[in-house]
Amino acid sequence: MSANTMENQIDLKVSKLAQNIIGSEIIKLAAEVNEKIKQGEKIYNFTIGDFNPKLFPIPAELKSAIIKAYEDDQTNYPAADGMLELRQAVVKLLKERGDMDYKVDEIVIAGGARPVIYAIFRALVDEGDTVVFPVPSWNNNHYTYLNNAIPVIIETSPENKFMPTAADFRPFISKANLIALCSPLNPTGTTFGKKDLEEICDMILAENEKRELENKKPVYLMYDQIYWALTFGETKHYNPVSLRPEMKNYTVFVDGISKSLSATGVRVGWSMGPKKIIEKMKSILTHVGAWAPKAEQMATATYLNDLNSYDKYLVENKTKINDRLVNIYKGFKSLKEEGFKVDAIAPEAAIYLTVQIALHGKTKADGAILKTTPDITKYILDEAKVALVPFYAFGASKDSTWYRLSVGTCKIEEIDDMVGSLRNALSKLK
């Protein structure tokens, strides 16, 4: 009997956490799309929030610095909280480009944003604590589950660009232990306005004044700003600590180079926050071993110390991203003007466009009715060859008609063809 046969006959027990955990819906959808591509189908793939390195290469100076770091044998363990050189470079970047003043011992380096988020949750959230977060948003539901915490989900609306307000949070603030926010927001590519973020900060500060008098654990804010350098036009990025300095005691940031430098595979992220929390996160990451590789850390430090090169790269990269977003946005708006049930929200930041495809109840040429959002998603993929991620993959309602469109792998010369293919598919419906 083979080992595989034996395994199939044995009911292998796993932990309750493992038994009930759900994998990434986005990765699952992307795998289906990639299988179609392998079979030779032409697919306009807008699913994964990643970059095609041939279209969006990392900065040449960063690549050279990584190669040099390996040539210099920077291949042993990095410091547990990150190489001092990189933390110093991050301090400079935040101060000179982000209007934020942090010390090196208030920063921890990790292997991208995911370990940072995991460490924040583990450092701040106990079993049974309440985590409040808006949807659509990226993976807050999964991290809450991993901590055996209680999720309080706030469904946002297109009227406010899917960004939450203080009024949304107020009914839950008294029992919240962590509020998880992201701006610019994945999946929408929209941002907080100054007033809205100020009101959320004021609400948290007022709640924590009460808790201090009662000697209770404060409500913390996890603020994911991994896309903060990728804003377009008149859009300005705001952060809680710059708006309300008192928020520094309660805010822990998610940040890094993954998106701003098209460096998703380089795996260099960081967090900044109160020293005590950062030290605990460092301890957690030490046991997980989720360090960024030493060579990449040293190379990133070298690169970020030349902010003129950083600025130049951002200008060029943002132009390429924005051109794609704007052209697709115009394409969806033209389809809407033609009478098709689609729409889009003007892009503000990140690499995402929020689009609507409202086809529930439409009938296909074969007589089948598109009853559900998965039906619509499949039809758009099969007939228009356009692959998008529905907002329900980000925790929104299963019948939401809104989608994330990611342009990191988009060839700009194919946009007109994609819009034409979508028009043709929509025209076949009754």
- pLDDT tens, 91-134? 999 999 999 999 999 999 999 999 999 999 999 999 999 999 99
Distance, in Å, from the CA atom of 283 to the CA atom of 5, rounded to the nearest integer, reads 42
Q: What percent of the chain has pLDDT over 70?
A: 98
Residue of 28, 31, 62 whose CA lies nearest to 300: 62
**7 pLDDT band (50/70/90 cuts)?**
low
Instruction: Give the per-residue pLDDT at 4.
Output: 60
Distance, in Å, from the CA atom of 238 to the CA atom of 229, rounded to the nearest integer, reads 11
Whether 392 shows a pLDDT value over 70: the answer reads yes
| DSSP helix/strand/coil, 231 | strand
Instruction: Give the per-residue pLDDT at 26.
Output: 80
**Could you tell me where the DSSP H helices lie in 289-398?**
294-304, 307-337, 373-379
Distance, in Å, from the CA atom of 316 to the CA atom of 51, rounded to the nearest integer, reads 15
Q: Taking phi first (over 0 means left), then psi (-120 to 50 degrees means alpha), and beta for anything else, what does residue 31 get?
A: alpha
Instruction: Give the per-residue pLDDT at 29.
Output: 82
Over the stretch 332-373, which tens digit does the pLDDT of each residue have? 999 999 999 999 999 999 999 999 999 999 999 999 999 999
Instruction: Give the per-residue pLDDT at 34.
Output: 85
**8 pLDDT band (50/70/90 cuts)?**
low
| 376: DSSP letter | H
**184 and 190 Cβ atoms separated by less than 8 Å:** yes
Instruction: Give the per-residue pLDDT at 370.
Output: 97
Instruction: Give the per-residue pLDDT at 3.
Output: 57
Tell me the fold of 3-56+312-427: Aspartate Aminotransferase, domain 1 (3.90.1150)
Instruction: Give the per-residue pLDDT at 65.
Output: 98
Over the stretch 187-202, which tens digit does the pLDDT of each residue have? 999 999 999 999 999 9
Instruction: Give the per-residue pLDDT at 22.
Output: 83
Average pLDDT on 263-274 reads 98
**23 pLDDT band (50/70/90 cuts)?**
confident
Average pLDDT on 292-296 reads 98
**24 pLDDT band (50/70/90 cuts)?**
confident
What ranges do the domains of the chain cover? 3-56+312-427, 60-306
CA 72 from chain centre, in angstroms, equals 33
**229 and 275 Cβ atoms separated by less than 8 Å:** no
Residue of 182, 173, 181, 171 whose CA lies nearest to 230: 182
Residue of 426, 372, 425, 430 whose CA lies nearest to 400: 372
**246 pLDDT band (50/70/90 cuts)?**
very high
Q: Which residues contact 199 (CB under 8 A, 6 or more apart)?
A: 165, 166
Q: What percent of the chain has pLDDT over 90?
A: 91
Whether 375 shows a pLDDT value over 80: the answer reads yes
Q: Which residues contact 380 (CB under 8 A, 6 or more apart)?
A: 357, 386, 387, 388, 422, 425
Q: Mean pLDDT in the chain?
A: 95
Whether 30 shows a pLDDT value over 90: the answer reads no
Which CATH number, 3.30.70.360, 3.40.50.300, 3.40.50.1820, 3.40.640.10, labels domain 60-306? 3.40.640.10
Phi first, then psi, for residue 357 (nearest 5°) are -130, 95
Over the stretch 166-221, which tens digit does the pLDDT of each residue have? 999 999 999 999 999 999 999 999 999 999 999 999 999 999 999 999 999 999 99
Q: Which two tokens stand for residue 361?
A: 């109840």
Q: Which residues contact 338 (CB under 8 A, 6 or more apart)?
A: 423
Instruction: Give the per-residue pLDDT at 96.
Output: 97
Whether 302 shows a pLDDT value over 90: the answer reads yes
Q: Which two tokens stand for residue 60?
A: 């040449």
Strands (E), 7-142: 44-45, 107-110, 130-135
Place of tokens 């609306």: 157
Q: Which residues contact 120 (CB under 8 A, 6 or more apart)?
A: 222, 252, 254, 271, 281
Instruction: Give the per-residue pLDDT at 418.
Output: 98
Q: Which residues contact 429 (CB under 8 A, 6 or more apart)?
A: 359, 362, 363, 364, 370
pTM exceeding 0.85 = yes
Neighbours of 400 (CB within 10 A): 20
If residue 224 lies in a helix (H) or strand (E), which one and from where to where? strand 220-224
